[in-house]
Amino acid sequence: MKLGKHFTNRRIGLGEVTLNVEYAGDGPPLLLLHGYPETHLMWHGVAEALARDFQVICPDLRGYGDSDKPPSPDDHSAYSKRAMARDMVELMTELGHQRFAVAGHDRGARVCHRLCLDYPERVERACVMDIAPTLHMFRHTDQAFATGYYHWFFLIQSDGLPEHMIGQDPCYYLREKLNRWSGPNAGFNPDVMAEYERCFSDPDTIHASCEDYRAAAGIDLVHDTEDFRAGRKVECPLLVLWGEQGFVHRSYDVLAVWREYATRVEGHTLPCGHFLPEEAPGPTLDALHRFFLR
């Protein structure tokens, strides 16, 4: 399955990994980064419309979809957001883009955050969807957070425990995650769901996604703490979008939190749960157009 009839699918070799990528359009470059436990196909409801005004680039992050799943050292650094952000810079360079806009959802939003910090000269504008910064969330962990985001603590367990348990029925686990995080009466495209299930049923994907979360609870926090203590913030204009039916909305003063980590912040809720581009494609598209076409 492709994002749309005008999209080109390629596997693009970079420094450490080869990424599966789809792209279309002739306008200014807009990089779209997916979240867990999905693939680049999560953008299917907005990608074609965005490609009328932008060159839309949708990769599978390393470890996900049909992109490479490299081995990781004991510090899980192969799946740090720094490594993933470097992938994106190398990808955009390969496609001929020195400056670009980026939007990310969930894990992709955390890569987007790191991309803005590590490569401020490359990012013109950025959008993060339905997250608070990783450092803030870990620093403010309580029972409600541990209950709602139990997977953050489950997936980081060592010795293959989560890999073994998820691997007993990966399609059930994936469907349950989508159902628990989405708003009431949310529906997912059956063809896209079939692709999610195909990709997530690969044991290498399950392991890589656990490594992603292990990195978030370890080396990513080291990087984030260094930046926070040094006063380094996202300097480009930042749009923050989140679902009014989700955990982030219930738990944080979202814009106030992001203003501790970025200098030019705006944003608002959308009428959905966690999966904004799939649950509310129209409002998501409108918000992205208004922000990125300025």
- Of the candidates 5, 282, 243, 14, which has an alpha carbon nearest to the alpha carbon of residue 132? 243
Q: How far is CA 75 from CA 5, 17, 156, 212, in A?
A: 41, 18, 12, 11
Q: For residue 181, what is the enclosing H or E element?
A: helix 170-181
- Of the candidates 288, 235, 280, 294, which has an alpha carbon nearest to the alpha carbon of residue 102? 288
Q: Tokens 């510090």 correspond to what residue?
A: 75
Q: Which of 44, 76, 113, 274 is catalytic?
A: 274
Give the side-chain half-sphere CA count within 13 A for 220: 29
How many whole angstroms separate alpha carbon 30 and alpha carbon 32? 6
- Of the candidates 171, 179, 131, 177, which has an alpha carbon nearest to the alpha carbon of residue 154? 177
Q: Which of 60, 66, 106, 227 is catalytic?
A: 106
Distance of CA 118 to the CA centre of its chain: 17
Instruction: Quote the Cα angle for 168-3-203, to 5°.
Output: 20
Q: Is 106 a catalytic residue?
A: yes
Q: How far apart are the first and last CA of the chain?
A: 32
How many whole angstroms separate alpha carbon 227 and alpha carbon 230? 5
- Of the candidates 9, 55, 10, which has an alpha carbon nearest to the alpha carbon of residue 32? 55
How many whole angstroms separate alpha carbon 56 and alpha carbon 50? 7
Q: Is 202 a catalytic residue?
A: no
Active site (catalytic) residues: 106, 274
